[in-house]
Structure 1
Amino acid sequence: MKIKFVIIFYLALICLPFDEFPFGVYGFGVNKPLSLYIFLLFLILNIPVLLRLRYKNTELIIFSCILFLIICSFYISYLRYNSIDNQYKVLNEFLGGVITYLSFKAYADIKDEKALLKMFKIILGSYILASIFGIIEFVYIYIAKSDVIISFLQLFLSPRFYGYLYSGHRIQFSFGEPSFIGFHLFLVVFPIILLLNFKGYKIGKLLKFNTCIFLLLSFISLSGKFILDFLVFILAYIFLYKERLTTTKFKLLGLLSIVTLIGGFYLLNYTDLFSRFQNGLYEDSSGRVRSDLSIISLIAIKDHQLMGYGLGNFLDAFKNNISYVDESFGDNYELVTDYYLQNFYLHCYNMYGRILTETGIVGVFIFILIFFKLAKYSKHNFNKFVSVLLLYNLLQVDTFSFFQLSFWIALFLSPSFWEFLNMERKGEQEFEAETKAS
């Protein structure tokens, strides 16, 4: 089997740093990365390849289970609300994840180690674009507030960037908002760099320089989530790779953690940060919204225990429970706006809470089954490391089209990626032996 039009696949990789351009910027009604649609074109041109690919039982079970929950949600929503509009959005979201997954599966299953290396390096190189945006935003905030810069940025970023630049003085690169930085830096860039380092591949000076710029500018995003993501990344690395760490490296990582924490508190104004935690984040509008939605997502199962509210119907769970969770929610603009919305797809920003509320006990059982099906492919240290990061980040995102999730699962299930892992430097346990043992 030979994959065709691979240049289209590489073009999709180059566009990965664009979270909202052009669909979320120009009001096309879709807020998905440009890459997704280029991946779709790539798949259409390689339909014969897709039909001849071998699909594991794990893949078929996961696909069938999620599709079953979506079909159930259509049925539940039609019976309870006489509307299935939100379920079409869920289906669209699911298809986005499938498109990303199949694109990387088609590439990884057919290509060899050199091709995988090329893919990883193109992904790293694509973030040079993100850094360029970060530098431009830095210039605007700290050097020259120019209308020319604003005119350029508004071509690629959604209107929300005005608030981050004008009032917040926050850098967001080419992403949807500053809080998305961790998804790119700690779930894509750093894991790939670590993987290439373990295999002994050298990363070019330009990519090293860009990574340093990317990291330094990320601190100026003034995102508390970025600081937390960085600390979790360091702790996960220390825990899972402690055998690799010399005393010097361990001390350096400890020092880096302390510097990150102190630097983060300084940049974010530590007095305000402590007061926000002391008051349960209620002094912060966004923090209060996320806190209320997360609590609701955990308690709303009491309303519909077996099958939940149905995928896409979190807004109804919100309306039925917000007054119990936050009696004074009326003084928060975002919460009030959400309450009076009709037929709207409301996010709870927590995948675990979403599964609990929208799919009930049946859905929880299904996702536990999926978890154990995937766990046997995560016994290699690197896979464990990325899996821990993914599980942590699902506390902050609730979409089935989460690119990083589809990307890594596709690689974990790919035989060529197992071979790629097997060729790491000495000191790593043989992944093939681990897979057989499982």
Structure 2
Amino acid sequence: MLRFLATQDRNVIWLLLGIALLPVDGTTLGLYAPFWSPISPALFAVYCLCNWRQLHIVAVKYLPMFLLPVACIILSIPGWLRFGIHFNAAFMSLTGLLGMLATLGALVIAFHIKRIPWNMPIRLLIAAYWCSFAVGVVQWFSIHLRFEPLVNYFSHLMYRQYITDSSVWGGGRPQFLFAEPSYIGMHLFGILLPFMWLMRGRDSIYAKRLRDLIVVYAIGTMLMQAGTRIVIDSVVALLIAIIVHNTWHDRKQRLRGMVQFAGACLLGLLGVLADSRLSSIAENGAQGDGSFFARIYQSLDPLCGLLTHPWTLLTGYGAGNIINAVWAGASKAEQLLNGLGMNGGAATGFAAGMNADTVWTMCAYTSIIAEYGLIGLVLLVIASIVSMTRVFDTAAAEHGVWSKTVICWLVLIVYLYIQCENYAFAALPLFIFAVSKLRE
């Protein structure tokens, strides 16, 4: 580490700290956002500011992405004029977008412009996630051995704690250092798995270490019953990895891939049978699990709010005004759920208990459309595609960026953000930066 630091600019420490704290996004030490309190985006922003000359190069190269906050502010004006503005919530939304750009900028400055060697950051990333896994193991033992000092420590450390039995979020589960257990898959398959693909053509040792970390982390969290979503995420990621790692025009590998597909589906079925919450959903439908059902009405409220004021489908309610969409759509969501034989009162109850600073949707697409409308979502997609195809690498420019791995990676990201609303999460900026650097 000291030898590495001696060969780099002093401000590289901000980059390394940001990487080391990627798995720490749910503690009281982080920046507040509903169901998320990250530290890394702020550190990446400091690194970008320390390298402001290079940041200008990044902004020009990825201009569509860097214009997004401006476009979102413009799209917000009609909603702000009609419904007012919640300054704290608007600040959180817009800084989330800036956090995404800070992460993208830090990656480009460090690994393209300055050509920082990959080995030390990757080593640090692996160590950081092993540490977070170790924290989860300690949490699990402290919960099951009822070691109250540690239980109390972690319950106070985490912003929304799932540690104690009295937790309103469903206690008695290790949380690692994540905002909630359902984010495990976002980290494993939105950050670590793509880094494994990046290292595959550069350093097979680091690729193997990342693979081992992902496998141990996923199996360990399932054995510790940390959450239900990790079971589903693991099966989805495994199916995508099977597609990536097999050459399908080769007969032998095609047969192997089909066997692996069947095995993955069997594992998924066993996971459903072994997990009581998944079994309950399979038997009783959406209301078989409270958390799963909550994700439905938490998105249904704002989406119905868009239908209440149809013009908001285009421009949204404005940055920070998700709560206005929730309030406007709660009654329609209740009617819809009641018509489907579900508990519609949950939708209105959720709306009544939320305010602008605490409301969440648990779905990035719902949040974007509620705040910035379909225009905002389309602009994000266009900006991402245009930016990722403006490649730096000559070889990538000659062969294009749409390889099999990139397409599978894109599908995985689209899936993961269905249950993660955090704009500044590192998965999307990592994808935009790295797609041209994959080596098949």
Q: Name the TM-score, length of structure 2 as normaliser.
A: 0.80
Q: For each residue in 1:265-301, what CA deviation from the matched residue of structure 2 results, as whole angstroms up to 9, or x when unmatched?
A: 313355423234x2xx234333222112333444443
The match for 1:122 is 124
**SS of equivalent residue, structure 2 residue 189:** helix
Instruction: Assess, with a 3 A threshold, how the Cα gap between structure 1 residues 15 and 340 changes in structure 2: closer, same or farther.
Output: closer
RMSD across aligned positions (CA): 3.3
1:308 and 1:359 in contact (8 A); partners too: yes
- What residue identity is the alignment partner of 2:141? V
- Identity %, equivalent residues: 19
Q: Which residue of structure 1 lines up, in the alignment, with residue 43 of structure 2? A: 38
- Amino acid in structure 1 at the alignment position of 2:370: T
Cα drift, residue 10 of structure 1: 1.3
Task: Assess if the C-alpha contact under 8 Å between 2:26 and 2:158 holds in 1.
Answer: yes
Amino acid at match of 1:145: R
Q: CA deviation at 1:262?
A: 0.6
Assess if the C-alpha contact under 8 Å between 1:105 and 1:411 holds in 2: no
CA contact (8 A) 2:280 2:288 kept: no
Task: Give 1:308-347 correspondences, 5 Å limit.
Answer: 308-327=316-335, 331-332=345-346, 336-344=349-357, 346-347=359-360
SS at match of 1:202: helix
Cα distance in 1 for residues equivalent to 2:73 and 2:180: 29
Count of residue pairs brought into register by the alignment: 407
Q: Which runs of 5+ in 2 are unaligned?
A: 1-7, 392-400
Q: CA deviation at 1:46?
A: 2.4
Q: 1:228 to 1:354 in 2, by over 3 A?
A: same
Distance, in Å, in 1 between the alignment partners of 2:207 and 2:388 is: 34
1:165 CA displacement:
8.8
Q: Which segments of 5 or more consecutive residues in structure 1 lack a partner in the other structure?
A: 429-438
Deviations 1:63-103 (A, max 9, x none): 22342222431453144326544322222222222222211
Query: Relative to structure 1, is the Cα distance of residues 163 and 275 closer, same or farther in structure 2, using a 3 angstrom cutoff?
Result: farther
Q: CA deviation at 1:54?
A: 4.7
SS across alignment from 1:179: helix
User: Is the counterpart of residue 390 in structure 1 residue 413 in structure 2?
Assistant: yes
- In structure 2, how many angstroms separate the alpha carbons of the residues matched to 1:30 and 1:170? 17
- Of residues 203-212 and 337-346 in structure 1, the stretch that sits farther from structure 2 once superposed is 203-212
CA spacing shift, 1:291–1:331, aligned 2, 3 Å: same
| Paired position in structure 1 for 2:25 | 19
Q: In 1, Cα distance between the equivalents of 2:25 and 2:372?
A: 28
Aligned counterpart, 1:284: 289
Equivalent of 2:232, from 228, 236, 255? Answer: 228
Q: CA deviation at 1:350?
A: 2.1
Shift, 1:225, TM fit:
1.5
CA distance in 2, matches of 1:405, 1:164: 34
Q: Which amino acid aligns with 1:160?
A: Q
Between stretches 127-136 and 319-328, larger displacement belongs to: 319-328
Cα shift at 1:364: 4.3
- Rounded to whole Å, the distance in 2 between the matches of 1:48 and 1:4 is 16
- Whole-Å Cα distance in 2 between the matches of residues 251 and 192 of structure 1? 26
Other-structure match for 1:179: 182
Query: Match for residue 73 of structure 2?
Result: 70
Quickly say closer, same or farther: Cα 1:209–1:93, change in 2 above 3 A.
closer
**Distance 1:65-1:111 versus aligned 2 partners, 3 A rule:** closer
Q: Which residue of 1 aligns with 2:298?
A: 293
Say if 1:125 and 1:207, in contact at 8 Å, map to a contact too: no
Structure 1 Cα separation of the partners of residues 217 and 381 of structure 2: 36
Q: Distance in 1 between matches of 2:33 and 2:419?
A: 26
- Tell me if the contact between 2:319 and 2:371 (Cα under 8 Å) persists in the aligned partners: yes
